[in-house]
Amino acid sequence: MIAHLRGRLLSKTPNQAIIDCNGVGYDVAISVTTFSELPAEGAEAQLFIHTHVREDQIALFGFADTQEKRLFERLLTISGIGPKLAITVLSGISSDRLVAAIRGGDHATLTKIPGIGKKTAERVVLELKDKLDDMAVPQAVAGPHHGPAGDDALSALVNLGYARPVAQKAIETAIEKDSSVAEDFETLFRAAMAAIR
């Protein structure tokens, strides 16, 4: 199964991306949230992938971060929600707001999402309310803010399995050593990885 793709972004629309990985173009369904986080066409992009296999089709669904992918996979466990509806749900509301709505039993917010009626909203809350404990809601996280590159580097380090305080400290150490690294994600990420080691 394909779990991750990195390559040149050939094209992107709010619901689809085509990524060229060593000459093979992968057609990936994406959410609007992921679309807005992708770089310009022609740049290098990476997506976390859910491979959905049916008798007549293999479909790839791509996500900018692992939390959105995990949320997508949780939605698929609910009867009546297939991959197309799950991606529509994630396009209609941010991951953080969706997690908060499910945890809070907020049916009104859920029914505003295209394709989600009252019964489906009730099923989502009932089946997922206690299964989202591992889903962090970033707005609740306190700590220094180091701009978009710092946020992306922190997210990348946490996704790699480093504890948030360790990742935060590594980013601060890297910026203290050389403040210019704070401008660019890749430079900052590498400097933070070196600081962790």
Per-residue pLDDT, 136: 58
Written as one string, the DSSP assignment of 129-146 is TTS-TT---GGG--S---
Q: How far apart are CA 191 and CA 173, in angstroms?
A: 9
Amino acid sitting at position 89: V
Helix boundaries (H) for the chain: 32-37, 66-76, 83-92, 95-103, 107-111, 118-128, 147-159, 164-177, 185-196
Q: At what angle do helices 118-128 and 66-76 cross, to 10 degrees?
A: 110
Q: How far apart are CA 168 and CA 192, in angstroms?
A: 9
Per-residue pLDDT, 31: 93
* 6: three-class secondary structure by DSSP: strand
Q: How far apart are CA 147 and CA 184, in angstroms?
A: 10
The CATH 2.40.50.140 domain(s) of the chain lie at 4-63
Q: How far apart are CA 152 and CA 138, in angstroms?
A: 12
- pLDDT tens digits in sequence order for the chain, 197 residues long: 899 999 999 999 999 999 999 999 999 999 998 999 999 999 999 999 999 998 898 999 999 999 899 999 999 999 889 999 999 999 888 888 888 889 889 888 899 888 889 999 999 999 998 888 777 554 434 455 677 788 888 888 877 777 778 888 888 888 888 888 888 888 888 898 888 87
The CATH 1.10.150.20 domain(s) of the chain lie at 67-128
Per-residue pLDDT, 142: 41
Q: What is the CATH number of domain 4-63?
A: 2.40.50.140
Q: How far apart are CA 177 and CA 189, in angstroms?
A: 14
Apex 82 CA angle, 76 and 84, nearest 5: 115
Q: What is the pTM of this model?
A: 0.66
**CATH second-level architecture of 67-128?**
Orthogonal Bundle (1.10)
- The answer to whether 87 and 98 are in contact (CB under 8 A) is no
- The answer to whether 62 and 34 are in contact (CB under 8 A) is yes
* 193: three-class secondary structure by DSSP: helix
Per-residue pLDDT, 144: 57
Per-residue pLDDT, 145: 61
Q: How far apart are CA 189 and CA 153, in angstroms?
A: 5
